[in-house]
């Protein structure tokens, strides 16, 4: 795990952070030319893996089938913020009955949708592909934990910017 000083998240804090409602992930995969491509996505977290559900025809599916290396950032929007990062390999997995896809889909509110069952049917109609990402090597930072120095919010080693590095 990467040490970010006093702002470093513990495994339990990472787990709680990833389970919190309302967060999305920025998922980066690689194009054919090797350049990164990042998209926002909803996810489902089971305590050990993040799951992403997409359609067979989306670019993410093609990119991860070609090169499964992925970088995922889950972060919040608060001024004093936190994040969890995962750099690993995505694994395409079976999802009988679309169970994982629906867990991800239902994790996020759908304002204005009156007929949830019809919306689910339409969402599933294109077919779903599920990728699993292990969080065993995830690390996180929570600036709310900073207390020893005003510089802890910006620099984990807590030295003022005027001191040599």
54-58, 67-71, 124-128, 141-145: the lowest-pLDDT one: 141-145
In this structure, CATH architecture of domain 5-147: Roll (2.30)
Tokens coding 114: 């009156």
Residue 146 structure tokens: 């900073």
What is the predicted pLDDT for the residue at 165?
46
Could you give the C-alpha distances from 103 to 21, 27, 50, 148, in angstroms and in order?
Answer: 13, 18, 11, 40
Q: Extract the tokens encoding 2.
A: 């990467």
Sheet holding 139-142, edge to edge: 36-41, 25-30, 69-75, 82-89, 139-142
* Of 15 and 156, more confident: 15
Candidates 44, 53, 48; CA nearest to 98 is 53
Whole-angstrom distance, CA of residue 144 vs CA of residue 29: 30
Each domain of the chain, given as residue ranges in start order, spans 5-147
pLDDT tens for 102-120 read 999 999 888 888 898 899 9
pLDDT band at 152 (very low <50, low <70, confident <90, very high): low
DSSP string, 82-142: EEEEEEEE-EEE--GGGHHHHHHHHTS--TT-S-HHHHHHHHHTT--EEEEEE-TT-EEEE
């Amino acid at each position: 795990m990467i040490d970010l000083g006093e702002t470093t998240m513990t495994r339990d804090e990472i787990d709680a952070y990833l389970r919190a409602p309302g967060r999305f992930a920025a998922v980066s995969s690689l194009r054919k030319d090797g350049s990164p491509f990042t998209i926002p996505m909803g996810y489902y977290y089971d305590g050990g893996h993040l799951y992403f559900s997409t359609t067979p025809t989306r670019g993410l599916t093609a990119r991860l089938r070609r090169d499964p290396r992925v970088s995922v950032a889950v972060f919040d929007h608060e001024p004093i913020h936190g994040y969890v990062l995962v750099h690993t390999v995505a694994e395409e997995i079976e999802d009988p009955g679309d169970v994982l896809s629906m867990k991800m889909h239902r994790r996020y509110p759908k304002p204005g949708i009156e007929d949830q069952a019809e919306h689910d049917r339409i969402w599933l109609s294109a077919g779903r592909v599920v990728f699993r990402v292990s969080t065993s090597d995830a690390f996180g930072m929570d600036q709310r934990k900073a207390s020893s120095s005003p510089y802890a919010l910006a620099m984990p080693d807590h030295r003022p910017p005027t001191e040599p590095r």
